[in-house]
Structure 1
C-alpha cells in the first residue's frame, strides 16, 4: 500500500503492518475525542514515526496513487479531526 504523509512524500508499506498502525490510530482517535492536545501530539508523532520506520520511501519524482493519506506532523487536533472517518485515519 502507498501511504502519503502530507508535506513529506510517499512510502510503500506492507499491508501486514496495518494492525500495528491501527493501535496507534485508535489511541489518536480517543485523544481527539477527549480533546487531549498533548496526548494527540505524542500519538500523532508516534504514528508518523512508525510509518516512516516500517515504510520504504518512494523517490520524490514518483507519483503513485496514495491509498492512505496521513496528516503532516504539525497538523492541529482540529485539522486531523476534519480528516477522520468513522474508523479513524487508518481503515480496518
Structure 2
C-alpha cells in the first residue's frame, strides 16, 4: 500500500504492518475524541515514526496514487479531527 504523509512524500508499506499501525490509530482516535492534546501529539508522532520505520520511501519524483493519506507531524488536534473517519485515519 502507498501511504502519503502530508508535506513529506510517499512510503510503500506492506499490508502485514497494518495491525501495528491500526493499534496506534485506535489510540489516536480516542485521544482526539477526548481532547487529550499531550496524548494526541505523542501518538501521532509514534504513528508517523512507525510508518517511516516500517515503510520504504518512494522517490520524490514518483507519482503513485496514495491509498492512505496521513497528516504531517505538526498537524493540530483540530486538523486531525477533520481528517478522521469512523475508523480513524487508517480504515480497518
TM over 0.5: yes
SS of 2:45's partner is: helix
Please, which runs of 5 or more residues in structure 1 have no aligned partner?
none
**Where has structure 1 moved over 6 Å in runs of 4 or more?**
none
CA RMSD after TM alignment? 0.3
Distance 1:14 1:61 in 2: 21
> 1:77 aligns to what?
77
Deviations 1:1-60 (A, max 9, x none): 000000000000001111110000000000001100000000000000000000000000
SS of 2:7's partner is: coil
> 1:24 aligns to what?
24
> 2:7 aligns to what?
7
TM-score (norm 1): 0.99
Distance 2:59 2:85 in 1: 29
